[in-house]
């Protein structure tokens, strides 16, 4: 198969993937109503997969989950590493906006103490140090990972 | 049993798509001949015990890939192929299945099986990719038809032609998803039975069926709702046209309890039986 044909197909398919991930998926020659329905179904599927992988985060957001996830997903491409990585990126986006619920932090710390996301893959960490400090509820939690020692958690108060 | 092309035809019986949430119900259901596992969700190094127990009971396990992107612009990734090969060997799978679809393009993942342009050019790329995949896999490959709510503009052929040509040119088997066929025929207003008469059913490896729901006039193949009557009727029609080597239920969400699951599996078996009776009485009439 010729390279030009593969390039042409790549461009056409990339335009479709991009359109389906956008808030308003218009693309020439396609039925707009059907593309919108497909984009909506894709977003629901993505949100459901993240909620299953990050139950505390989804639970803490409650009724806001769908809307917050939709906002994040519109500007964040689907990560190659799947729903765990997608949920971690969603949590980072919430944190940047000061919208991350306190109840979700433990789940995030537990993930970070074990994993890192690099080059589209989730890998095991060898070294980690992370903390959660909060006034309400009052608590301090330290998690770390060291070679030979493995993972340790320390709860300082509350 | 050997067919006319000398390929091994395996009678799988009734089956189900294995999911961790269904593991318990599946183990308690007697008489399942096979399960299908999503290859990307299972590590060759740590196959769940529940799957091993089913294998010990004699169930066949089929490895089902979802990320090869066989209709994509790139040749399938050798690392993904190697992993699929490892998992199929580890499970002693009679074959591997994948989709006539693409899932990524331009460095972006879609997270979904997307439809291919039905053009000569796109068909040639699919054929080349499938041949590369076949060469890297230790067992035969079966290709599945997908469902899509929308179509590409300017199709040069219909779906039956596109799929038939892809299967013949690559000499691969067909994993026929009756619900995807039902969805596309309904959403794009064409005749599903005509499709069944035109695709090479002698290449049939096994059959998928699943549930869905109608929203705003479009049928969504959700794998999260009950099987619609129309899909069961289509399964009966298929069974009336050809002997079915294996039929399995796919359920991915809103998991039913054991009773509901049993009812769905029974409804599938009934539809297959009704079709088989019609085929046999037709054969007797002709003889």
pLDDT digits (tens, 9 = 90+) for B22-45: 998 888 887 899 999 999 999 988
Could you list the beta-strand ranges (E) of B115-157.
141-144
Say what the pLDDT of residue A1 is. 58
pLDDT digits (tens, 9 = 90+) for A100-129: 998 899 899 999 999 999 887 888 888 999
Touching check for A89 and chain B: CB below 8 Å?
no
| Token duo for residue A32 | 């707009």
B residues 225-264 near A, CB within 8 Å?
Answer: 253
Say what the pLDDT of residue B99 is. 98
Q: Do B150 and A80 touch (CB under 8 A)?
A: no
Distance CA B27, CA B57 (A): 10
Percent over 90 (pLDDT), chain B: 82
Distance CA A64, CA A99 (A): 11
Touching check for A92 and chain B: CB below 8 Å?
no
Asked if pLDDT for residue B164 goes beyond 60, the answer is: yes
B residues 126-185 near A, CB within 8 Å?
Answer: 128, 148-154
Residue environment code for B217-240, b if the CB has 16+ CB neighbours within 10 A, otherwise e: ebbbbbbbbbbbebbbbbbbbbbb
Touching check for B189 and chain A: CB below 8 Å?
no
Say what the pLDDT of residue B287 is. 66
Question: Which of A108, A120, A121, A130 is CA-nearest to residue A53?
Answer: A108
B216 contacts B149 by C-beta, under 8 angstroms? no
| Token duo for residue B107 | 């460095």
Q: Do A17 and B105 touch (CB under 8 A)?
A: yes
Lowest mean pLDDT among B42-56, B161-175, B223-237, B273-287: B273-287
pTM of this structure? 0.90
Report the gap between the CA of A36 and the closest CA in chain B (Å): 10
Say what the pLDDT of residue B286 is. 75
A residues 59-78 near B, CB within 8 Å?
Answer: 77-78
Report the gap between the CA of B161 and the closest CA in chain A (Å): 20
Question: Which of B178, B162, B175 is CA-nearest to residue B235?
Answer: B178
Asked if pLDDT for residue B167 goes beyond 80, the answer is: yes
User: A-chain residues within 8 Å CB-CB of B150?
Assistant: 30-31, 34-35, 37-38
pLDDT digits (tens, 9 = 90+) for B195-217: 999 999 999 999 999 999 999 99
Say what the pLDDT of residue B284 is. 76
Distance CA A17, CA B98 (A): 20
Q: Do A37 and B216 touch (CB under 8 A)?
A: yes
Say what the pLDDT of residue B126 is. 98
pLDDT digits (tens, 9 = 90+) for A33-91: 999 999 999 999 999 999 999 999 999 999 999 999 999 998 888 888 889 999 999 99
Q: Report the complex ipTM.
A: 0.91
Asked if pLDDT for residue B7 goes beyond 90, the answer is: no
Cα four-point dihedral sign B186, B227, B239, B243: positive
Asked if pLDDT for residue B6 goes beyond 50, the answer is: no
Say what the pLDDT of residue B124 is. 98
Name the average pLDDT for chain B. Answer: 93
Touching check for B215 and chain A: CB below 8 Å?
yes
pLDDT digits (tens, 9 = 90+) for A22-36: 878 889 999 999 999
Q: Do A80 and B109 touch (CB under 8 A)?
A: yes
> Length of chain B in residues, anyone?
287
A89 contacts A76 by C-beta, under 8 angstroms? yes
Say what the pLDDT of residue B9 is. 62
Confidence of residue B97 (pLDDT cuts 50, 70, 90): very high
User: B-chain residues within 8 Å CB-CB of A14?
Assistant: 105-108
Distance CA B8, CA B81 (A): 23
User: A-chain residues within 8 Å CB-CB of B255?
Assistant: none
Asked if pLDDT for residue B1 goes beyond 60, the answer is: no
pLDDT digits (tens, 9 = 90+) for B52-73: 999 999 999 999 999 999 999 9
User: B-chain residues within 8 Å CB-CB of A13?
Assistant: 72-73, 102, 105-106, 114
Name the phi and psi angles at B265, rounded to 5: -65, -35
Asked if pLDDT for residue B110 goes beyond 80, the answer is: yes
pLDDT digits (tens, 9 = 90+) for B244-257: 999 999 998 889 88
B residues 84-103 near A, CB within 8 Å?
Answer: 102
User: A-chain residues within 8 Å CB-CB of B253?
Assistant: 48
Say what the pLDDT of residue B2 is. 41
Touching check for B198 and chain A: CB below 8 Å?
no
Distance CA B50, CA B47 (A): 8
């Amino acid at each position: 198969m010729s390279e030009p044909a593969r390039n042409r197909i790549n461009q056409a398919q990339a335009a479709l993937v991009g359109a389906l991930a956008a808030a308003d998926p218009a693309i020439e020659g396609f039925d707009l109503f059907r593309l919108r329905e497909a984009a909506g179904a894709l977003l629901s599927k993505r949100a459901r997969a993240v909620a299953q992988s990050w139950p505390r985060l989804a639970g803490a957001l409650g009724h806001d989950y769908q809307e917050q996830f939709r906002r994040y997903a519109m500007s964040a491409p689907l990560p190659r590493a799947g729903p765990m990585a997608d949920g971690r990126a969603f949590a980072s986006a919430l944190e940047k906006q000061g919208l991350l619920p306190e109840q979700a932090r433990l789940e995030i710390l537990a993930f970070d103490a074990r994993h890192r996301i690099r080059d589209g893959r989730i890998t095991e960490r060898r070294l980690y140090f992370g903390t959660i400090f909060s006034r309400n509820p009052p608590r301090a939690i330290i998690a770390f990972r060291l070679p030979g020692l493995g993972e340790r958690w320390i709860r300082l108060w509350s | 049993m050997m067919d006319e092309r000398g390929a091994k035809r395996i009678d799988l019986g009734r089956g189900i798509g294995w999911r961790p949430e269904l593991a318990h119900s599946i183990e308690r259901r007697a008489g399942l001949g096979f399960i299908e596992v999503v290859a990307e969700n299972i590590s060759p190094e740590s196959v769940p015990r529940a799957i091993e127990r089913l294998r010990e009971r004699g169930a066949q396990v089929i490895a089902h890939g979802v990320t090869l992107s066989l209709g994509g612009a790139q040749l399938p990734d050798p690392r993904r192929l190697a992993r699929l090969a490892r998992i199929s060997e580890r499970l002693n799978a009679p074959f591997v299945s994948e989709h006539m679809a693409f899932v990524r393009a331009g460095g972006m993942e879609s997270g979904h099986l997307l439809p291919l342009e039905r053009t000569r050019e796109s068909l040639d790329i699919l054929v080349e990719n499938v041949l590369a995949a076949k060469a890297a896999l230790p067992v035969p490959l079966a290709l599945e038809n997908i469902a899509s709510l929308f179509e590409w503009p300017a199709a040069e052929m219909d779906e039956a032609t596109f799929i038939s040509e892809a299967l013949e040119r690559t000499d691969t088997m067909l994993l026929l998803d009756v619900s995807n066929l039902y969805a596309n025929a309904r959403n794009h207003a064409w005749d599903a039975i005509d499709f069944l008469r035109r695709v090479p059913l002698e290449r049939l490896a096994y059959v998928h069926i699943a549930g869905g729901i109608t929203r705003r006039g479009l049928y969504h193949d959700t794998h999260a709702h009950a099987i619609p009557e129309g899909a069961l009727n289509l399964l009966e029609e298929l069974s009336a046209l050809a002997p079915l080597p294996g039929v399995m239920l796919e359920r991915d969400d809103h998991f039913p309890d054991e009773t509901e699951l049993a009812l769905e599996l029974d409804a599938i078996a009934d539809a297959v039986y009704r079709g088989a009776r019609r085929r046999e009485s037709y054969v007797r009439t002709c003889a």
